[in-house]
Amino acid sequence: MKIKSICCLGAGYVGGPTMAMIAAKCPKIKVTVCDMNQQRIDAWNSGDLPVYEPGLDAVVTSARGRNLHFTTDIRASIAAADLIFVCVGTPTKSYGIGAGRAADLRYIESAARLIAEVSTGHKIIVEKSTIPVKTASAIKTIIAANSTSGATFEVLSNPEFLAEGTAIADLENPDRILIGGETTESGNAAVEALVSVYAHWVPRDHIITTNLWSSELSKLVANAFLAQRISSINSISALCEATGADVDEVARAIGMDSRIGPKFLKSSVGFGGSCFQKDILNLVYLCESFGLPKVAEYWHQVVQINDWQKSRFVEKIVRTLFNTVNGKRIAILGFAFKKDTNDTRESPSIQVCRDLLREHAHLAIYDPQVDPETIRRDLADSHIPAALIASNVEIHTDPYAALKDAHALAALTEWDEFRDLDFARIHDLMLKPAFVFDGRAILPAATLKARGFDAFIIGKGA
């Protein structure tokens, strides 16, 4: 089977960039990206894309209008496609059974029902959203029960491993493409059809095929292992601070052991992003459901250390500022969950800022890409009065304006531009003693010291 027309449900951080890359690399395949959010689709069709991602503009403009289209006409797009990627959100359930851990699959289910309703002929459905193991069989059951036209379906799992901020490089040159399918004749044919899409630009030996359940589970496990490395080094950061060791030196020393490797050992105020916490909680819930409480507990610790790291950072600020931040101006540099993205989902900045607000601090926030509306929406919390947020949060478009008359600077995202700030000027602008809390260990430590700052750097002993 040769794929001529692809449709993608969900024009988010995953669906948008991934489909743009497929369209750019496969000019003969028509790629239509759909979303129920009209504003999002309008943005994808404009010069101001909804996702900030280095290199994305060029990829989108190379194919948009040629074989790449963005639309809210979901039904027509499904009907016209041979292959349908499902990239809708799968947030953590906030209610009922499994609340706080299980994945909320309502968008996946409604996508499956819609596909069944409008499809004719043969369709390949590809799960790209991260989902619990066995979701493919749920999708199949829903479709089989709802399809009236005699259409036939294959369901594949093809998890996306791109990281935000480096999505284009990751898509262009992936470590691997993983495709899971049923080991039947028609399952194998569907897997081969999807392999041939990626084979336009990915070497064959980087495309691996497995059974459905291995593929679904591998995505959760990959994210759990990556996050585990960060929680491991973050737990050691506390010990470094207590002993006078330097966590970057420790990371370098252990990372040169080729069995350990150097990546993902950067200590931080905590990991964020839409995937790590959600996927680990999902894994924990799966383990519990399968009667494996010890395994669940083991992985849950990765999230617990991450929460502890964020609280520890706030406690350090409050303690250092003479046990009170009430009414004190604290400049927050960085709100995105990592550099080179405008995404703030599960960003450690959210918890740090909320905790500081609960202490009645005055926050002056600067981030180069996140829009003020998103910051205000993220900070809203049922435990913090809206009036406190209105009176105690300022959002700036210039870091120096945020730092004027501040008691402290807290760096929470590793944006490159923060390293190059004029620290002499900042020292002049701030109240004295001028405190710096570097939650990413990125600011130039020697310069801070030379300029007379009182600096705390995560994972660095005194």
Interacting residue with ligand UDX among 153, 271, 418, 435 (CB under 6 A): 271
Burial class (CB in 10 A: 0-12, 13-18, 19+), 308: middle
Name the residue among 354, 376, 355 with its Cα closest to residue 367: 376
CB closer to ligand UDX, 75 vs 432? 75
Residue 82 sits in the site that holds ligand UDX (CB under 6 A) = no
* DSSP codes of every residue in 240-308: HHHHT-BHHHHHHHHHTSTTT-STT----S---SSSHHHHHHHHHHHHHHTT-HHHHHHHHHHHHHHHH
Residue 64 sits in the site that holds ligand UDX (CB under 6 A) = no
Residue 386 pairs with which residues in a beta bridge? none
Q: Tell me which H or E stretch contains 259.
A: none
135-146 helix and 212-243 helix, angle to the nearest 10 degrees: 140
CB closer to ligand UDX, 189 vs 254? 254
* DSSP codes of every residue in 391-432: HHEEEESSHHHHHTT-SEEEE-S--GGGTTS-HHHHHHHS-S
Residue type, 348: P
CB closer to ligand UDX, 101 vs 266? 266
CB closer to ligand UDX, 13 vs 153? 13
Stretch touching ligand UDX by CB under 6 A, among 268-276, 292-300, 317-325, 416-424: 268-276
CB closer to ligand UDX, 152 vs 235? 235
Interacting residue with ligand UDX among 44, 52, 70, 107 (CB under 6 A): 107
d(CA 265, CA 64): 38
Residue 37 sits in the site that holds ligand UDX (CB under 6 A) = yes
d(CA 218, CA 454): 45
Stretch touching ligand UDX by CB under 6 A, among 33-41, 205-213, 280-288, 297-305: 33-41
Interacting residue with ligand UDX among 164, 182, 355, 438 (CB under 6 A): 164
Give catalytic status of residue 87 as yes or no: no
Interacting residue with ligand UDX among 14, 68, 133, 333 (CB under 6 A): 14
Residue 187 sits in the site that holds ligand UDX (CB under 6 A) = no
Residue 87 sits in the site that holds ligand UDX (CB under 6 A) = yes
Query: Euclidean distance between the first and final Cα of the chain, in Å?
Result: 64
Interacting residue with ligand UDX among 3, 6, 8, 15 (CB under 6 A): 15
Name the residue among 31, 26, 25 with its Cα closest to residue 44: 31
Stretch touching ligand UDX by CB under 6 A, among 12-20, 144-152, 198-206, 239-247: 12-20
Site string (310-349) toward ligand UDX, x via CB under 6 A: ---------------------------xx-----------
Interacting residue with ligand UDX among 264, 298, 308, 400 (CB under 6 A): 264
Residue 180 pairs with which residues in a beta bridge? 157, 210
The residue number whose beta carbon is nearest to ligand UDX equals 12
293-320 helix and 276-289 helix, angle to the nearest 10 degrees: 150
Interacting residue with ligand UDX among 202, 275, 332, 458 (CB under 6 A): 275
d(CA 266, CA 264): 6
Interacting residue with ligand UDX among 135, 218, 223, 342 (CB under 6 A): 223
Name the residue among 131, 167, 155, 183 with its Cα closest to residue 51: 167
> How many residues make up the chain in this entry?
462
Least distance to ligand UDX, CB of residue 152, Å: 24
Answer yes or no: are the C-beta atoms of 280 and 296 closer than 8 Å.
no
Spatial neighbors of 21 by CB under 8 A, at least 6 apart, are 59, 168, 171, 172
Residue 299 sits in the site that holds ligand UDX (CB under 6 A) = no
Interacting residue with ligand UDX among 89, 180, 181, 334 (CB under 6 A): 89
CB closer to ligand UDX, 371 vs 454? 371
Q: Which residues bind ligand UDX (CB under 6 A)?
A: 9-15, 35-37, 40, 87-90, 107, 110-111, 129-130, 160-164, 223, 226, 230, 264-266, 268, 271-276, 337-338
As annotated, the active-site residues are: 275
